[in-house]
Structure 1
Amino acid sequence: MKVACVGGGPAGLYLSILLKLQDPSHEITVHERGPEGSTYGWGVTYWRGLLDRLHLHDPESARALDEHSVRWNEGVAHVGDRTVRHAGDQGFGIGRHRLLEILADRARSLGVRLEYAHEVTADRLPEADLVVAADGVRSALRTRYAGHFGTEMTAGRNCYAWLGTTKAFDAFTFGFTETDHGWIWCYGYGYGPDRGTCVVECAPETLTGLGLDRADEAEGLILLEKLFADALDGHRLLGRSPADGGTPWRTFRTLTNRTWYRGNLVLVGDAAHTTHYSIGAGTTLALEDAIALAGALRELPTVPQALARYERERKAALLPAQSAARYSAQWYENLPRYLRLPPEEMFALLGQRHSPLLPHLPPRLYHRLDRAAGRLTALRRAKRWLGPRIARAAQARAGAGRRG
């Protein structure tokens, strides 16, 4: 089979790896419009479940990914001058440049052809049995046929900036700062021994009130460093290159498509869907798209059948992530509702922000109910663990009594 992947991000590269592993005779080319190594971004996050799945499909690239990632097991929240730390699930961070380098090297080693600085337009698609649109949220291939795909884009309310920092966070870190113009907050995580990612978010009126929408990059970074001095421990924030202009404040756009394929053209990753950055699932979902598409192509006899199953499976699998992302974004848009709580309660509700019930209950009542449910769950687990042991002990005592 001849396959053209348009876009050299995680989805396109990993799909090319999986297809080559399935059948080395496949002729696969990845077309990337930018020069090699020119990707944007700082670090990306993923969780243990994804790493386990990658080990199943290609242990070699999974080992390299694991080796070059940093990890954490805790979350930290700075709320004004108060700090709270909680244990959590194991998370991982890796530089986006390093991730793509690992996947590109692995693809090359398997015989995938990588063409950088090569833009593919929707009017001149490559001759191939399968064309994969892995060209991101601004996908030119998807845009050309937006009516067929049923593309919808919904903008969120809050503004955000994706920044780097010289602080290598040892935990997933939140910083919440109150200003005269409202709250502003950040999420930070490490991705290398001396680097981290810091995403800053606020309401639009806070952005304009602080003057961040008008400040040049250097002025904006200095102000943000002061606002998040506790979370950053005095470290610097890093913006994009001067050629990109000022700090890139944006509103997040949630992208959905009614269908994910047209003939032999199929959407993967951000070209097919986006989920709010606050759940940290973008890279994971892109790689899972690649796994599902490769599996469908391996198991079904024709490309149309494979694309239909891929779309059906991935749309169903995405529903929980899309719901979590929607409620997570709404939680932050209503952040002042939670920030007057004691830090421990606020942090607990931060972890519950995906709940559809939380917006409809008073925050302290929800917290009490959640704690009560947790105690009941712990009691049920204890009973399941203790029950057989108590029964065995009773049987042993009865047996000893009979022998006596």
Structure 2
Amino acid sequence: MRICCIGGGPAGLYFALLMKKQNPAHEVVVLERNRAGDTFGWGVVFSDQTLAALRAADPQSAAEILDAFNHWDDIAVHIGGETVVSGGHGFCGIGRKQLLSILQRRCMELGVELRYEQDVQDDAGIEADLIIAADGLNSRLRQKYAATYQPDIDLRNCRFVWLGTKKLFDAFTFDFQQTEWGWFQAHAYKFDGETSTFIVETPEAVWQAAGLEQMSKEEGIAFCEKLFAKVLDGHALMSNAAHLRGSAQWIRFPRVVCKTWVHYREPLGLRSAESVPQGERGGSGRPSASANGVAPVVLMGDAAHTAHFSIGSGTKLALEDAIDLARDIAAHEGDLKAALDAYQATRSIEVLRIQNAARNSTEWFENVDRHARLDPQQFAYSLLTRSQRISHENLRLRDARYVGDFERWLARRSGLDATVPPMFTPFKLRELTLKNRVVVSPMAQYSCVDGLPADYHLVHLGARALGGAGLVFAEMTCTSPDARITPGCPGLWNDEQMQGWQRIVENVHQHSSAKIAMQLGHAGPKGSTRVPWHGGEDLPLESGNWPLLAASAQQYLSGISQTAKPMDRADMDRVRDDFVAATQRAAAAGFDWMELHCAHGYLLSSFISPLTNQRQDDYGGSLENRLRYPLEVFRAMRAVWPAERPMSVRISAHDWVPGGTTPEDSVEIAAAFKAAGADLIDVSSGQVSKAQKPVYGRMFQTPFSENIRNRVGIATIAVGAISEADHVNSIIASGRADLCAVARPHLANPAWTLTEAARIGYTGPAGLDWPQQYLSGKQQMEREFERQRGAGLAAAEQANKALGV
């Protein structure tokens, strides 16, 4: 093939040398707009895993890169006069200029043609079978073919400047400095024997308030030298961006995501297979993409995607792009179209995974003021686990001493003198103490007749109480017959139902150390529907429907659901009084905890969300007005709920619909309920509108919990895709929530908490009570998981040795 790489950065150079190595008959040329030796930036960082991939792809260049690397294991976090160090992270730093020099020499050894000072404005005059658009962040080719690539560029909120210093850092160092304008942070690491990268970052508003926008380049550098004088030990900061003036050296990071990575300059199928000479056909006998004259233009590196520098993956992704495309071309010899399809299909998944982690990391650094409210030890832990790529147990593998010390520190804060995983530390709210941080979510079971909880709920909730969780929630329980979602929903509108619940509560208290919570709610516009297994979720009953209420007239399913009536004052008084009566019955039944359901599009949620509240009176319009009725109900309930028992509120922190409730709104919502007497916010999202477009992923709602907890100063429950002990430990340890609600895993395994304790090797006793009837199964389970962990560690160690890690 004739291959042209536009851009002489790591992606273009590495792909060029890999293709020339793969087949010396390839004609490979690299066109670079700068002069040989010109580069901007300082050092780049790789993980040990990336090094293993380079060794496998091209041992010769990998050996040179390894010889030039500065390797370190530690991450050091400086904040508030304290330093926290964690080891075992396996980073390597190398100067960007040195890396490019190594790749350039290797290209020349293999016969790649390097042409410098070639500022390619357009690909129109390039004759090649394959064009690699590795022309960087501001890719001209990506812009030219934007209709194909469909780039999404998100300009992030922080300003940063890329500097260097002669101060050599022995660890990857994060230094945080609070100023009168806000927080600044430095990311620093050495990349050769005499120089370190020193990146200074701060939110846009702080950057402007500090006056950096008006400063010259020299003044801005002097500002940073003074601010970070302690960690710099008197060393100066340097800039190598001579082409930038004044505040232009401070930039905002653009997150680039492209839907498609390959553009064909001409439509496929221009020539039939019969008209293509045999020598131009692929191994299958079909013409390759290049034989069709289409000359694919393939994005690579920063032209295709970016990942925030805080996870050090930009160069890693560029090199791995090159490795994967070269591999796919070799695997589909003669069929370039198939190779490019495979490249885009597999590579885009891995890149998206890294970009999601980078987004988490980016947002963490954009909100340092929120995290800085944590103690330095927890702040550092939160930083280490910010991307969700490093979990609690992964951190333990890296540095068991650090994790052990941190667990002891965290346990002492909860009154324990032991080393205890975070999920098994106690939690106290008002006069109630939970033995651990695991909550069985309120999960609709639709298994009552006339709202009466009976044997099914006795078994269902009792089994989960025996399963080790600290708190077990009853499902949303309705305050009147017309408050139900379905005819199968439980109620608490009469004394017979109260007695049914009392039997269940007494069973939980008698046979377990778990506490049990009641969640009261009103279905509102989502009521009078079928049980899901009787014809579909959210569909109205075929007969016997009851009238619906909402903040404003609405149909939850447009054209299908009943239209809910806007509540008048009489309706509001009746519903409020129903909540109060149900609260009194819940207290009499002996529940330990009360929660008011104000989420998921149900009645009280319909007042809060602007999507469903179109009222023109005092209960509509501003968020303050929309909260007026839910707060009225809450205050009335709190007045009759025993003062020593906690009361929480479940909210939807994000409607996932333009014009709906936002995470920023959720902070105001939580603050209002806190002022009304709420002890905790149960932070969920969505289910307000069928137009929602959530961004799913593991622990995907936890950032909403963290936002509320650390800005409002109220305890929270994190919910959503929390399925492992590792998730719970990471969330609790990092201060993202105080409790974790686990739903579907508890449906599959009532003893989820006991099982997960054995899985991570925790045998108790703190926070973990095995029923004495089950003790014979405890040791067997613990031995089996211990055997599995040992086998897994041995396999991982063998794999790492094979890769040279």
Could you list the structure 1 runs, at least 4 aligned residues long, displaced by more than 2 angstroms after superposition: 240-244, 355-359, 361-378, 380-388
Q: Matched residue of 1:88: which SS? A: coil
Q: Counterpart of 1:202 in structure 2: which amino acid?
A: T
Q: Give the aligned partner of residue 220 of structure 1.
A: 220
**Aligned pairs, number:** 388
Q: Give the aligned partner of residue 262 of structure 1.
A: 263
CA deviations 1:74-110 (Å, max 9, x no partner) are 0111113222211131100000000000000001000
Q: Matched residue of 2:19: which SS? A: helix
User: Do structure 1's residue 348 and structure 2's residue 376 form an aligned pair?
Assistant: no
- Say if 2:41 and 2:241, in contact at 8 Å, map to a contact too: no
Q: Give the aligned partner of residue 127 of structure 1.
A: 127
Q: Counterpart of 2:302 in structure 1: which amino acid?
A: D
Q: Identity of aligned pairs, percent?
A: 38
Q: Counterpart of 2:85 in structure 1: which amino acid?
A: R
Q: Matched residue of 1:89: which SS? A: coil
User: Do structure 1's residue 113 and structure 2's residue 113 form an aligned pair?
Assistant: yes
1:226 positional shift: 1.4
Q: Give the aligned partner of residue 272 of structure 1.
A: 304
Separation in 2, partners of 1:276, 1:384: 41
Q: Give the aligned partner of residue 732 of structure 2.
A: 369
Q: Give the aligned partner of residue 144 of structure 2.
A: 144
CA deviations 1:217-254 (Å, max 9, x no partner) are 11111111111122222211111344421251111111
Q: Counterpart of 1:312 in structure 2: which amino acid?
A: A
- Say if 1:345 and 1:367, in contact at 8 Å, map to a contact too: no
Separation in 2, partners of 1:367, 1:310: 34
Q: Give the aligned partner of residue 720 of structure 2.
A: none
Separation in 2, partners of 1:359, 1:45: 31
- Say if 1:173 and 1:231, in contact at 8 Å, map to a contact too: no
Query: Can you give the 5+ residue segments of structure 2 that lack an aligned partner in the other structure?
Result: 265-295, 389-699, 717-728, 740-752, 764-781, 789-805
User: Do structure 1's residue 283 and structure 2's residue 304 form an aligned pair?
Assistant: no
Q: Give the aligned partner of residue 308 of structure 1.
A: 341
Separation in 1, partners of 2:253, 2:731: 32
Matches within 5 A, 1:3-402: 3-247=3-247, 248-263=249-264, 264-300=296-332, 301-355=334-388, 356=700, 357-361=702-706, 362=709, 369-370=732-733, 378-379=760-761
Report the more deviating stretch, 215-224 or 52-61: 215-224
1:319 positional shift: 2.1
Q: Give the aligned partner of residue 398 of structure 1.
A: none
More helix by share: 1
**RMSD, matched Cα:** 2.3
CA deviations 1:115-168 (Å, max 9, x no partner) are 011122225342111011010011111111111211121111111111111112
1:176 positional shift: 0.4
Report the more deviating stretch, 121-130 or 315-324: 121-130
- Say if 1:78 and 1:230, in contact at 8 Å, map to a contact too: no
- In our comparison, the structure showing a higher alpha carbon Rg is 2
Normalized against structure 1, the TM-score is what?
0.91
Distance 1:286 1:90, change over 3 A: same
Higher RCO (CA-CA < 8 Å; seq separation 6+): 1
Separation in 1, partners of 2:305, 2:783: 43
Q: Counterpart of 2:761 in structure 1: which amino acid?
A: L
- Say if 1:8 and 1:30, in contact at 8 Å, map to a contact too: yes
CA deviations 1:159-188 (Å, max 9, x no partner) are 111111111211000010000001111110
- Say if 1:174 and 1:231, in contact at 8 Å, map to a contact too: no
Separation in 2, partners of 1:43, 1:369: 35
1:358 positional shift: 4.5
1:309 positional shift: 1.1
Query: Can you give the 5+ residue segments of structure 1 that lack an aligned partner in the other structure?
Result: 389-404
- Say if 1:256 and 1:274, in contact at 8 Å, map to a contact too: yes
Separation in 1, partners of 2:313, 2:155: 18
Report the more deviating stretch, 241-250 or 25-34: 241-250
Distance 1:200 1:384, change over 3 A: farther
Separation in 2, partners of 1:84, 1:289: 35
Separation in 2, partners of 1:311, 1:213: 40
- Say if 2:93 and 2:190, in contact at 8 Å, map to a contact too: yes
Distance 1:295 1:226, change over 3 A: same
Distance 1:368 1:157, change over 3 A: closer
Separation in 1, partners of 2:47, 2:81: 30
Separation in 2, partners of 1:57, 1:387: 35
Distance 1:84 1:377, change over 3 A: farther
Q: Matched residue of 1:205: which SS? A: helix
More strand by share: 1
Separation in 2, partners of 1:280, 1:175: 17
Distance 1:334 1:375, change over 3 A: farther
Distance 1:125 1:278, change over 3 A: farther
Separation in 2, partners of 1:165, 1:266: 37
- Say if 1:152 and 1:255, in contact at 8 Å, map to a contact too: yes
- Say if 2:761 and 2:786, in contact at 8 Å, map to a contact too: no
Normalized against structure 2, the TM-score is what?
0.46
Separation in 2, partners of 1:81, 1:383: 44
Q: Counterpart of 1:62 in structure 2: which amino acid?
A: A
- Say if 1:166 and 1:235, in contact at 8 Å, map to a contact too: yes
Separation in 2, partners of 1:67, 1:328: 30
Q: Give the aligned partner of residue 397 of structure 1.
A: none
